[in-house]
Structure 1
């Protein structure tokens, strides 16, 4: 069986190319990598060299999709195919694990790599914002609160505010840990004990699996403690929110004419327009993220050793947040240097006293100092 039509190839996801590292192929590769690392971890403990290796490209994806519908998870069919590839060593595949161990671990692998790439993009955007905030540190600007003219500030202070949220998003990513998952059928590792091994072997197996995958070893199964998943999701949502917050300002500044994109988008009906597409995408993704995050928080109200539906509800929401974070990090890294200041249209206050200027400059300096501290971490 072959997969005839991909569900989503970017037609309604304009920045989707930035999130290719979160697609089905990447997740499948991570699942296979997890199963291979588990076999190797058992080999280490048993003192054998089974030399089992898997070929992700040889997997029948249509079979995986069909059985995912039948079984509710893709792992059953995946394990069957991997055991076929393992031949005489088939019994070493998926040993002591359950579907949730493989799915959770695979999503952690995908999360680690996707958010590491996003972190690099945020770093680039932060560097550009710092340079521009420093340059515009003393340029007067009419601030607004609740859409109305407020006290005077500086253009540098506006840019420093953007830099501040990017720094915070980067710090959120830096704080995330990506633990391996391994607990077996109901999270207790009983299958290891039934195999004639002590439960200390489960701890050693988990540690070996974590080491092979370069994930954290939590020293436990977290099947129904979804805190690790929530931490990843929360950090990804913060990246989306940071981009969305800046996108709002970019759109309003483009509307008012003083900060325009050098590479705007076209209109199907109005050829004179140059739409601030980066601002639109950043804002849209920022708006999409809270619903996905709410799904994970709702699903965290788990029950039993594995709930019926709650864990399953996480999968696409989790991956969706990785996608939005990846997209917004890439779009933001483009949007910041692409924004062109139109000096004649910058809304300037009628007057700006020394106190307002000094306060704005101090605010800029504080954020720049924060950037310098975090840039060395």
Structure 2
């Protein structure tokens, strides 16, 4: 087995992004092939469980798979060859009528569902912590800034409520995301499914069954040339990164005067007195990285033909990269706000006391933000 290329040396929160790792993608690819076997069995009225059980991602020769990826430009050809060997006499029933894009797109939707599901859990953790912080600091005087300059007195709780509102928006975006299965065959018409089954309804029946076995949505169509589903998932992931990055920027700025500091960590190799806001740095960096990845996906959506030469392939790492950053950012955000030390003296040192009206207005903002977050999250996601 070849050594892993990226094991986290330059990815400080890399462990949190493992939901989008090569291992996760490989398992998802095999999951789709298993589910396709089961979908065909549903269509034929046979039992596909025994064959599906033979398809084992842990038994895949990864060096041979990587050689195949380089030779074929896609991972599915070499993978299917190995899965058919595993299937033995039932080899012809593996990957029956499908094309590489069916498998890759469906697998990446599986990975998206898992990664964004994990991110949502972490966003809920962050929101719970932010809600508590906003309530605790709802009367702590704080100077709001516009265009980098001091604007008007408010409260630190109101500033934190704004972060919570952004977290709630990201939760809503993830909740609204759809993860559709892709199944259309070589050029999206499903011709092979009709031909192999002798049934005109085979493309629709197989797609619905495949979606059910994978727990993905059935779009009722092949979307291989319409990348709107990819862009929608990417937008949700990018929003998570932007939300976390926005909070990260404020945390980094708050660390300059000691108002907002992590409770530990952040060493410097040259200046031992420093306590760097590492979480804030990671959040900001991830937010900046996400912009280029979503730009790649938007550019790749301007493709051509039933399968373009390069645009679809350009999506893979950008799509997976956004999922990774979203998972990392949500986890780091939850850690950052749960380990935040607030210094009220530093917050109020250069701040004129807020008027009773300003404090009351800030409190209204806090209450509204907390209520919105609570409405978006079930009781099981809140502290007991």
Distance 2:261 2:107 in 1: 41
Paired position in structure 2 for 1:283: 284
Distance 1:46 1:17 in 2: 43
Structure 2 residue runs without a partner (length 5+) = 380-384
Paired position in structure 1 for 2:191: 190
Residue-by-residue CA offset, 1:18-56 (whole Å, 9 max, x unaligned): 011111111001100100110111112112235212121
Paired position in structure 2 for 1:133: 134
User: Is 1:357 matched with 2:359?
Assistant: yes
**Is the Cα contact below 8 Å between 1:239 and 1:325 reproduced in 2?**
yes
Residue-by-residue CA offset, 1:238-290 (whole Å, 9 max, x unaligned): 00111100000000001111111102211111111111100000000011001
Distance 1:152 1:229 in 2: 43
Paired position in structure 2 for 1:72: 73
Structure 1 residue runs without a partner (length 5+) = none
Paired position in structure 2 for 1:100: 101
User: Is 1:46 matched with 2:44?
Assistant: yes
Shift of 1:132: 1.1
Q: SS at the partner of 2:154?
A: strand
Across the aligned residues of Structure 1 and Structure 2, the Cα RMSD in angstroms comes to 1.2
Q: SS at the partner of 2:151?
A: strand
Paired position in structure 2 for 1:325: 326
Q: Where has structure 1 moved over 3 Å in runs of 4 or more?
A: none
TM-score, normalised with respect to structure 1: 0.97
Q: SS at the partner of 2:201?
A: helix
Paired position in structure 1 for 2:176: 175
**Is the Cα contact below 8 Å between 1:189 and 1:199 reproduced in 2?**
no
Shift of 1:134: 1.1
Distance 1:358 1:45 in 2: 64
TM-score, normalised with respect to structure 2: 0.95
- Describe the shift of the 1:200–1:253 C-alpha distance in structure 2 as closer, same or farther (beyond 3 A): same
Shift of 1:158: 0.6
How many residues align structurally? 375
Q: SS at the partner of 1:149?
A: strand
Residue-by-residue CA offset, 1:91-115 (whole Å, 9 max, x unaligned): 1010111000000000011110111
Deviates more, 1:197-206 or 1:20-29: 197-206
Q: SS at the partner of 1:142?
A: strand
Distance 2:31 2:374 in 1: 38
